[in-house]
A = this chain, B = another copy of it.
Amino acid sequence: MYRAPVDEIAFTLKHVAGLEEALASGALGDLGADLVDAVLAEAGRFATEEVAPLYKAGDEAGAVLKDAAVTTPPGWKDLYTRWREGGWNSLTGPEEYGGQGLPMMLSVAVLEMWNSASMAFGIGPTLTMGAVEALEKHATDDLKRNYLEKLVSGEWMGTMNLTEPQAGSDLAALRARAERAEGGAYRIFGQKIFITYGEHDFTDNIVHLVLARLPDAPAGTRGISLFLVPKFLVNEDGSLGARNDVFCSGLEHKLGIHGSPTCTMIYGDGFGDVGTGAIGWLVGEENKGLACMFTMMNNARLAVGMQGVAIAEAAFQKALAYANERRQGRAASYTGEGMAPIVHHPDVQRNLLTMKALTQIARSISYNCAHAIDMAGVSDGPEAQHWRDRANLLTPLAKAFSTDVGVDVASLGVQVHGGMGYIEETGAAAFYRDARIAPIYEGTNGIQAIDLVTRKLLLGEGRHVHGYIEELGAVTASLNGKDGFGRSTDLLQTALADLTEATRYLQEKLAGNSVQEALSGATPYLRLFSLAAGGVYLARAALADQSGERVALARFFAENMLGEVRALKERVTGGAESLGLAGASLITA
């Protein structure tokens, strides 16, 4: 069973992601290390003792739809209530609306814990956080007054309604429509699919944020508006009023995250108490909905990245425990009685170390992304811009690399368990099932890579990324003369040189209008970038704690796994032509 790695999380925040300096500099106001530690410890307790024990019920029973009502798995409604009453929903919410205003670094740390304990449970509140953020930044005061406090407390939950059958990655194809109605309101019509927690029994009301088109809107993405559509209208006194015309018509039968209801939502079929058309209110300006949605999508991407980290951590813990318990064969390092615990076999160690290193790298990248978001929020002028750029640069890495890691580590976790890994009761297989959605939703990992290459490499006129690589180089240089790192310094410097070369190559292609070449190399480049940065983060952790274990892990990674960077660089800089030639043969449509 999962135990929240509170010490590891605190260490990574403080020594790898910059929390210690941020606290010391006063950048985070009166937040102190004591409060940080207390929050992490209590979240760890809640995740370990309250959430994790209900994981299996969620996976086995799943969410159930009957008569347009969704019942969550046994015990989950109470769990949610205890969770929000513990203040976990309001952690980062604006203080004006009852939130605790704590930094994103703490938010991602506790998100990791909820998602390790149960990804299907952890995904729900992420959507509420996104709704709070979008409303805080873009909604009218009236909407804020009516909705924000209860979304911040978690008394109500929020959703994001983007996808339609013909419009997934490409929101330009969106068809849901909005008509102007009485009193400044709108009526919404259309079908949305894949709506996470679109309907459930956790809360009395659900606040949908919905993308739709006005009748006179331009075609494409510039004609999309964002609307707030509550399940129940809210009366003047804050009590719940009429049932709105939005209903769940189906739940998806998914590979994993069974506890999380994935809903088809129908707007405007005339089944509520308000006539035909779901009543909604504009958020932000007409036709500017996509910009509002992107506000929340950036942080949602980081949150999904945390799911990758979370699954990897949980899968690693389970595999490590099994490898220390299961005995088979003999091993040189085992001198006890009988068969050796399989953790003594080099092949099992290789699997476990690969899992451990990848998990820590994904965590480090994601926490650093959160750090940049926090620093941007407390800075001004060029410094704020620097941190915004940093957060924007790291977001696709945090989302795509971490979720790929989630899948790979969960798969290795099954392998370490041998035949038992394939049996559902063991639980290793459930991580493998759950993990597989994260590289897909919130923008597929392919789209993250394209975002990284075509937008993020251009930040600061193309200089921001090189500044970041230089910072990584400075950490690497400080390894010189330190014991135990083996060939790490040289290997990291080579990897950073390859990262620089690949970056310049892609920047030149973009400047030269050779976008096709840049797109061809995007996914290998994202992985290259993540491995090189991750190797440096492992080294940074080892510099902060030279007790041996971290040094050995950093060295293992550099000497066993960093070699992939060279291959990826060659793929980025030399693979496009043959990809295009061979790719043409795939096209029949």
Chain A residues at the B interface, C-beta cutoff of 8 Å: 163, 166, 168-170, 172-173, 193-194, 252-256, 320, 323-325, 327-329, 332-333, 339, 341, 343-353, 356, 407, 411, 414-415, 418-419, 421-425, 429, 432-433, 436-437, 439-441, 444-446, 449-450, 486-487, 515-516, 519-520, 522-523, 548-549, 552-553, 555-556, 558-561, 563-564, 566-568, 570-571, 574-589
Tell me, in angstroms, the Cα distance from A352 to B564 when the chains sit together: 21
A346 and B516 in contact (CB under 8 A), knowing A422-B255, A556-B578, A571-B560?
A: yes
Q: Do A253 and B425 touch across chains, with their CB atoms under 8 A apart?
A: yes
Q: Roughly how many angstroms separate A325 CA and B587 CA in the complex, as a whole number?
A: 10
Interface of A is mostly: helix
Instruction: Give 21 A-B contacts (CB < 8 Å), ordered by A residue.
Output: A254-B423, A254-B429, A255-B433, A323-B586, A346-B516, A346-B576, A346-B579, A347-B520, A349-B579, A352-B586, A353-B583, A407-B411, A411-B436, A414-B436, A422-B437, A486-B578, A555-B582, A556-B579, A556-B581, A556-B582, A560-B578
Specify which of B256, B446, B571 is in contact with A348 (CB 8 Å cutoff): B446
Cβ of B579 and Cβ of A350 under 8 Å apart? yes
Q: From A574, which residue of chain B is reached at the shortest CB distance?
A: B559
| B-chain residues with CB within 8 Å of residue A343 when the two chains form the complex | 586-589
Chain B residue numbers with a CB within 8 Å of A515 are: 332
Bound-complex Cα distance A325 to B561 (A): 37
Q: Is A589 touching B325 in the complex (CB atoms < 8 A)?
A: yes
Interface contact B424-A254, CB-CB below 8 Å: yes
Distance, CA A35 to CA B519, complexed state (A)? 47
A118 to chain B, nearest CB (A): 17
| A-B pairs, 9 with minimum CB distance | A563-B567, A349-B583, A347-B446, A556-B582, A552-B582, A324-B589, A255-B429, A170-B328, A341-B589
CB distance from A196 to the nearest CB of B (A): 11
A349–B578 alpha-carbon span in the complex (Å): 11
CB-based contact A415/B432 at 8 Å: no
Which residue of the partner chain B has the closest CB to A585? Answer: B549
Q: Hey, which chain B residues are within 8 Å of A325, CB to CB?
A: 589
**The residue from B356, B450, B584 contacting A347, defined by CB atoms under 8 A apart:** B450
Q: A353-B579, A411-B411, A566-B566 are in contact. List 6 more A-B contacts (CB 8 A).
A: A255-B433, A320-B586, A332-B516, A548-B585, A553-B585, A560-B578
Whole-angstrom distance between the Cβ of A415 and the nearest chain B Cβ: 6
B253/A424 in contact, CB under 8 A: yes
Nearest-neighbour CB distance to chain B for A134, whole angstroms, equals 21
- Asked whether, in the complex, the Cβ of B582 is within 8 Å of the Cβ of A553, the reply is yes
Kindly state the separation between the CA atoms of A95 and B90 in the bound complex, as whole angstroms. 75
Please report the C-alpha to C-alpha distance between residue A520 and residue B286 in the assembled complex, in whole angstroms.
Answer: 61
B-side contacts of A577, CB under 8 Å: 486, 559
Partner of A344, one of B163, B169, B194, B587: B587
Please determine whether A440 and B418 come into contact, CB atoms closer than 8 angstroms.
yes
Q: What is the distance, in angstroms, from A545's C-beta to the closest C-beta of chain B? A: 13
- Cα A341 to Cα B587 in complex, Å, equals 9
Closest chain B CB from A275 CB (angstroms): 32
Q: Which residues of B contact A564 (CB under 8 A)?
A: 564, 567
> Of B348, B352, B419, B587, which is within 8 A of A163 by CB?
B419
